[in-house]
Amino acid sequence: MYAAVAAGGFRRYATYRAATAAGVFTNTVFGLILVHTYLALWDERPHLGGYDQAQAVTYVWLGQALYATFAIQGGGVEKDLMARIRTGEIAIDLYRPADLQLWWLATDLGRALFQLLGRGVVPFVVGALFFPMALPRDAGTWAAFVVALLLGLVVSFGIRYLFALTAFWLLDGQGVSQAMMILGVFCSGMTLPLNAFPAGFGEVLRALPWAAQVQVPADVLMGEASWAGAFAFQAAWAAALLGAGRLVQAAATRRVVVQGG
């Protein structure tokens, strides 16, 4: 059943072809801007954050490939979930013979797969064709990168699901969405690799769950992190966030039942 739900999420986003084409163009343009900014910065500070220029370029294009995949700025299934809570349609979801959290997780995985293939691959290929990139040559590293992506997707969903559940109490999710966007863009490393921040501040950022979305997959791809350590970090945050989502969901649905909604 959940595989069918994921397939439905994939098909739904595949229908927005004009939006996908616009997203590919936007990510490619922003990638070009960021690459030249990074190159200028790395000219002044070689090996900033432990990266050379080729690794910095790789980081930029990987971030552009994963931006929509991980819904770092928001706009994934959490947007639909908050809308359904606000309108009361969430009651239909609660009546389904399916787990609410797993239902939305499957939907989000389908969405993410389409965004990766439909919007993420082209900017990454453009970067690889026109800029020197630090890409692995062995299949094992690519396989480890895929695992890091899957774990990162679960972490990303766990964060956004928790934010979305606040709509049970707040009803209006605009403020939550803005907070989620700011935290996602900054703490994931989209603006600058988390390795490049000063030691104390950087260590705090690298310990937060957002690091599992861009920083950790990038380090796995470029051989800057041990696979076991990276997977353990992502899996721990995925389990913690999904568990917290379960607790908040239970509290929220009890509240709905008590109110008769």
DSSP track, the chain: -HHHHHHHHHHHHHT-HHHHHHHHHHHHHHHHHHHHHHHHHHHHSTTGGG--HHHHHHHHHHHHHHTTTTTTTS-SHHHHHHHHHHHTTHHHHHHSSS-HHHHHHHHHHHHHHHHIIIIIHHHHHHHHHHS------SHHHHHHHHHHHHHHHHHHHHHHHHHHHTHHHHS--HHHHHHHHHHHHHHTTSSS-GGGS-HHHHHHHHHSGGGGTTHHHHHHHTT-S-HHHHHHHHHHHHHHHHHHHHHHHHHHHHHHHHHT-
Distance from C-alpha of 165 to C-alpha of 152, rounded to nearest angstrom: 20
For 157, other C-beta atoms within 10 Å of its C-beta total 29
Give the largest CA-CA distance in the chain.
Answer: 62
Give the residue numbers spanning the domain of 31: 2-259
Give pTM, 2 decimals.
0.91
Q: What local confidence, expressed as pLDDT, does residue 260 receive?
A: 46
Structure token pair of residue 124: 């990454």
Q: What local confidence, expressed as pLDDT, does residue 254 receive?
A: 78
Low-confidence ranges of the chain (pLDDT < 70): 255-261
For 40, other C-beta atoms within 10 Å of its C-beta total 10
Q: What local confidence, expressed as pLDDT, does residue 256 receive?
A: 57
41 close to 47: Cβ distance less than 8 angstroms = no
Distance from C-alpha of 86 to C-alpha of 79, rounded to nearest angstrom: 11
Q: What local confidence, expressed as pLDDT, does residue 171 receive?
A: 74
Q: What local confidence, expressed as pLDDT, does residue 212 receive?
A: 94
Q: What local confidence, expressed as pLDDT, does residue 259 receive?
A: 45
Q: What local confidence, expressed as pLDDT, does residue 33 receive?
A: 93
Distance from C-alpha of 195 to C-alpha of 120, rounded to nearest angstrom: 23
Q: State how many domains the chain has.
A: 1
